[in-house]
């Protein structure tokens, strides 16, 4: 009887261990991607995308008041697929869907939705970049602290968002 349970346990272990794809959890934590963000037709602003402690954020987006958001990641045939959202009280919400490929490149589709009581604006944005080594690692807690001193209305770049 004991050997039957051992055999059954081994079958379940091998089935899950051998699965080619699955939950990647916080597998992007500690990574930084450098690239360009902007309209889907022509991303034109240099930006960095950071992952730490189960959260992600964009350098430009945090300067414009978008708070780091929780992300989910999973292994797929294309690479590590991640999703998440960044929100701002006054500027709306960015919904991210990205894929990190084996070569370190990342392509992220972003839908920006801004709601007002009388209209909803939706735009498609993209981030295209590659894995990079940050000059100095950026943590979630440092980013949250820095956001306390930022005035998005005083940043002309934020007028685009």
- For residue range 60-69, list pLDDT tens digits in order: 999 999 999 9
Nearest-angstrom CA–CA distance, 79 and 105: 10
Residue 70: band (very low, low, confident or very high) from pLDDT cuts 50, 70, 90: very high
Computed from CA positions of residues 104, 59, 65, 124, in that sequence, does the dihedral angle turn out positive or negative? negative
Task: Give residue 116's pLDDT.
Answer: 77
Q: Which residue has the higher pLDDT, 69 or 154?
A: 69
Task: Give residue 7's pLDDT.
Answer: 39
Question: Considering the entire predicted model, what is its pTM?
Answer: 0.79
Range in 44-58, 78-92, 139-153 with the lowest mean pLDDT? 139-153
If one looks up domain 23-160 in CATH, what number appears? Answer: 2.40.128
Q: Is the pLDDT of residue 38 over 90?
A: yes
The mean pLDDT of 106-120, rounded to a whole number, is: 90
**Measured between alpha carbons, how far is residue 28 from residues 8, 69, 125 in Å?**
33, 13, 21
Q: Which residue has the higher pLDDT, 37 or 16?
A: 37
């Amino acid at each position: 009887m004991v050997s039957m349970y051992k055999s059954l346990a081994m079958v379940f272990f091998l089935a899950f261990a051998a699965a080619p794809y699955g939950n990647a959890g916080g597998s992007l934590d500690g990574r930084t991607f450098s690239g360009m963000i902007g309209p889907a037709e022509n991303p034109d602003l240099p930006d960095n995308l950071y992952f730490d402690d189960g959260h992600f954020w964009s350098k430009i987006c945090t300067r414009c008041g978008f708070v780091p958001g929780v992300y989910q990641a999973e292994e797929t045939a294309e690479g590590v697929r991640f999703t998440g959202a960044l929100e701002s009280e006054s500027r709306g919400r960015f919904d991210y869907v990205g894929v990190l490929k084996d070569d370190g490149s990342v392509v992220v589709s972003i839908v920006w939705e801004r709601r007002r009581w009388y209209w909803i604006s939706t735009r498609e944005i993209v981030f295209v970049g590659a894995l990079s080594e940050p000059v100095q690692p950026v943590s979630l807690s440092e980013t949250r602290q820095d956001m306390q001193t930022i005035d998005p209305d005083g940043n002309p770049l934020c007028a685009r968002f």
